[in-house]
Amino acid sequence: MSIIIRGGTVVTADMTFAADVYCDEGKIVAIGDNLDVPENAECIDATGQYIIPGGIDPHTHMQLPFMGTVASDDFYTGTAAGLAGGTTTIIDFVIPAPGQSLIEAFHQWQDWASKSAADYSFHVAITWWDDSVYEDMGTLVNEYGVNSFKHFMAYKNAIMADDETLVKSFRRSMDLGAIPTVHAENGELVFQLQQEMLSQGITGPEGHPLSRPPAVEGEAANRAIRIAEVMNVPIYVVHVSCKESLEAITRARNEGQLVYGEVLAGHLLVDDSVYRHPNSEFAAAHVMSPPFRSKDHQAALWKGLQSGNLQTTATDHCCFCADQKAAGKDDFTKIPNGTAGVEDRLAVLWDAGVNTGRLTINEFVAATSTNAAKIFNLYPRKGSVSVGADADLVVWDPKGTRTISAKTHHQNIDFNIFEGRTVTGIPSHTISRGKLVWANGVLNAVRGAGQYVERPPFNPMFDALTKHAEVNAPTAVNSD
Ligand SMILES: C[C@@H](CNC(N)=O)C(=O)O
Ligand SMILES: [Zn+2]
Ligand SMILES: [Zn+2]
Ligand SMILES: [Zn+2]
């Protein structure tokens, strides 16, 4: 089955032009005016609409086993919901239990992800360290197409990586041509503040943000960035939620350090008043880490995106329903952390970003797709509208409207942090690997149609780092 998209305007991260786009055998085959294509090609009329690269969400956790339960959106339902929202590739996380073989965990996640409706890739978390972890990192890069390793600086007594693990893993990542990424919250401080909140009788969801103030994130972000600077490795900070970590990133980037920042759609649009809501179930539904912040932090995050100091947007899609969140009804530290977003990211960013003039349509494409593809070495196969790229495309209707609600969304969760928000700008069609899977409100996601996407190591940023290391190599006195 081939598809011809006629009458639209192609929008990439750096160009906007009228053209038809022809896809066949899962690839973009031709881009141009009035293309001559086979009669039996399925035709999509994109008049008055944009043709953009399929969204890439570099941060999801489908069916994650976490805090005594399992995230309610699995790899099929979660990727299907993503397709309905214009996201055609996710980068999820293999998170080995401390002591678990990284390779065994990798296969476990691969087995779970085989039901995906859209393409997927994996960051692998380094949650412990010994020689086998060192070896397995090499196997994952050289044999399994992993080029990014995640480090949780939070979650003490669970998956938290201490400084020794960060230093050893950052060095190994660099040698392998893989980029280290961090969840930057100081887990020791979180743990201490959690105990203090509980001892003061603050057991409700309002204790969650009180135990993770912005300084807790800023300290960890700065520490990780400084460690990366000393080790001469690139670093990607996930879910930057506050001024403090944005400042740490901005300072380093102004010094020429290779630091990348990711912001969640939720952190740009939802503020911390949700935790003071009289309905504790409503408040608990918003418990995720880092927590939603006050409006001044949101304003700073938008400037971070506009200035280019934050490069990607994501969702950290990690769903837990009310009955799962209730595990923490008497102790907020037991509320499973996480919420949804994979279906709404593009629409809420278009509505709050493009419709307000904060982002150009090209910056929107960069922030929802192309930048993640470049940083994680998927470009131009993903994140581009170019001949030879995978036919992952969205026909975007800038005038279409939708009111977001848990009652109508496709995500397998009974809550939506964007509930009631009416957005202008929605995907009218989503094409995943050349198949029309979303068309005018009808979802035709296919269980298992998604494929694992390998990501090669040594993306171009490593050339610069290697030269920097050579030029600044230390020398011994007697070597003169
Ligand atoms: C465990 C995972 C999802 N939960 C969350 N962000 O609150 C993460 O910390 O990114
Ligand atoms: Zn397996
Ligand atoms: Zn995280
Ligand atoms: Zn996460």
Whether 175 is in a domain gets the answer: yes
CA gap 194, 192 in Å, rounded: 5
Give 96-115 pLDDT, tens digit per residue.
999 999 999 999 999 999 99
Which atom of ligand 1 is the closest one to the Cα of 155? 9
ipTM entry? 0.94
* C-alpha 449 chain-centroid distance: 21
State pLDDT tens for residues 291-331: 999 999 999 999 999 999 999 999 999 999 999 999 999 99
Ligand at minimal distance from the CA of 105 is 2
Give distance in angstroms: CA of 229 to centre of ligand 3.
Answer: 22
| 44 within some domain | no
In ligand 1, the atom with minimum distance to the C-alpha of 152 is 9
Count CA within 13 A, CB hemisphere, residue 100. Answer: 18
* Domain CATH code at residue 146: 3.20.20.140
What pLDDT score was predicted for residue 226? 98
Q: What is the pLDDT of residue 1?
A: 85
235 falls within a domain: yes
Whose CA is closest to 212, among 246, 186, 237? 186
**Binding site membership of 286 for ligand 1 (Cβ less than 6 Å):** no
Q: Does residue 321 lie within any of the structural domains?
A: yes
Q: Is residue 366 part of a domain?
A: yes
What pLDDT does residue 460 have? Answer: 87
For the CA of 287, the nearest atom of ligand 1: 7
Ligand 3: distance of its center to the CA of 440 in Å?
Answer: 34
| pLDDT exceeds 70 at position 480 | no
The residue whose CB lies within 8 Å of the most ligand 1 atoms, and thus the one to mutate among 240, 318, 324, 332, is: 318
Who contacts 381 (Cβ-Cβ below 8 Å, separation ≥6)?
373, 388, 389, 390
Q: Is 153 inside any structural domain?
A: yes
Question: Average pLDDT in the 64-88 region?
Answer: 98
Tell me, what's the pLDDT at 461? Answer: 86
Q: Which domain holds residue 265?
A: 54-383
Mean pLDDT of the chain: 98
Tens digit of pLDDT for each residue in 342-375? 999 999 999 999 999 999 999 999 999 999 999 9
Closest CA to 282 of 420, 422, 79: 420
Q: Strands 119-125 and 87-94, how do they pair?
A: parallel
Q: Is 339's C-beta closer than 6 angstroms to any atom of ligand 1?
A: no
Mutate to test the pocket of ligand 1, among 59, 60, 61 (most ligand atoms within 8 A of CB): 61
pLDDT in tens, 156-174: 999 999 999 999 999 999 9
pLDDT tens per residue across span 374-402: 999 999 999 999 999 999 999 999 999 99
Count of structural domains, the chain: 1
Q: Is residue 295 part of a domain?
A: yes
Q: Does residue 354 lie in a domain region?
A: yes
CB 359 near ligand 1, within 6 Å: no
Residues 6+ apart with CB under 8 A from 285: 322, 325, 339, 415, 417
Best of 57, 153, 316 for a ligand 1 pocket test (most atoms within 8 Å of beta carbon): 316
User: How do residues 413-451 score in pLDDT, each as one tens digit?
Assistant: 999 999 999 999 999 999 999 999 999 999 999 999 999
> Which of 57, 153, 183, 217 for a ligand 1 pocket mutation test, highest count of atoms within 8 Å of Cβ?
183
How far does residue 212's CA lie from ligand 1's centre (Å)? 13
- In this structure, the residue with its CA closest to atom 10 of ligand 1 is 316
